[in-house]
Structure 1
Amino acid sequence: MITGAPPIEASARRAGLVDALAERMIAQAEPVRFGLATSPGEKEAVFRLRYAVVLERGWGRPADFPDGLERDEYDADALHIVAWNDRRLVGACRLVCPRPGRPLPTEAAFGLTIEPRGRVIDAGRLCVARADRWLGAKLWGGLLARAWIELRALGFTWACSVVTPAGVRLYRRLGIRLEPLAAPRWVWGERRFPILAKPAAEADAEAGRPEA
């Protein structure tokens, strides 16, 4: 069991700096635009992009996805963050809110219980179209920045996720400190580990270190 998350109020007081940095990262990614997939067509485009990435990376076979969509039981009520370059979907990630009686995706993948219940949101399924990866950290970082803004709007400041070492670097660019929750496992064809993410200023304060 993972415990020790602070009250929501304490988290919110220290999250303002990350808010400002997230807005700057989104602005730096122009002309790419970030938003939420709201229509059935937009969500299907997200699932098709995820499917394409899964096949490209060798994480699955076409027979595993007969409809050409990569989706699971969490997608129906998840928030899907999208990145558009002109009218073309170039990247996506998702947020899964806590729900009574249902483990978050990170908890399910690693057999964890992350507390306090109801105060941690799950961020995952971060992907970028192969043709647009030349945009690099601007695109990846912009997706995470928009995800941060959306989870803040929902009242969260803590998130769990399953990440690779490259994912760790992206979170840190956003001013987020990561706490490993368990040993790495093979997930989606790579060694990944579960993390708890929170604003770096908050982590420093909890450790008794002065904030910069």
Structure 2
Amino acid sequence: MLSTPRWLALEVKYLDRARSFYESALGLSVVREAEQEVAYDVGGPELRLRAPGDVPRGGLHTHYALSIPSGEYDDWYDRLDERFDLVEHRFGDARSLYFDDPDGHCVELAESDVDGPGVVGLFEVVLEVEELEPARVFYQRLGFEPIDYGDERRRVRMTGGDVDLELWEPQLGLADGRGGVHVDWGITAEDPTMTADRVTRDAQSIDETEAGIRIRDPDGHYLTLCEE
């Protein structure tokens, strides 16, 4: 069983520039920093900004979604609209606003029934895959369940505990967002070893790390299964 997301790593060209964006625009607080990486708290999970370097790298042009309290949505929109070219979409009664960071990652802030203040959760990660069906099968074996298929776009939305995973064949999505390439992220699993064993035949690699069992999927994305 999968549950909470643990981290999402983004590759950034200039760490100082990226830090300025995430600290001023989103008001994120640093929880850990090193020479080539800085990590922010986004309501439990970490958002990691990583300069180009060792493998696994952070993801390129990754679309991901963060939760903000519904009562703060209008304030977020007004403040960010002064600085960015915002795109807004409505999903039923919920609204989301989209804008790009300096490195081309598409940030989504979605109003949610959560307590604030500020950013309080990572609830969606989008991966670019070469072929949708083999990728869907791979992640379903890991415990993600399909909940929505694209009609006009080649994509599938899957859920795994507290986070949704979207798999997209190469395309532009909402607000011209793209699925990430060589994304590195982590999620909590009830039994990481047993879960990883389900994809032994198809994974490019499976390794034990200090953080957990790290899987490299057929499209080159890294997912680490962490103990509860």
TM-score normalised according to structure 1 size = 0.28
TM-score normalised according to structure 2 size = 0.27
* Structure having the larger proportion of residues in helix: 1
* Structure having the larger proportion of residues in strand: 2
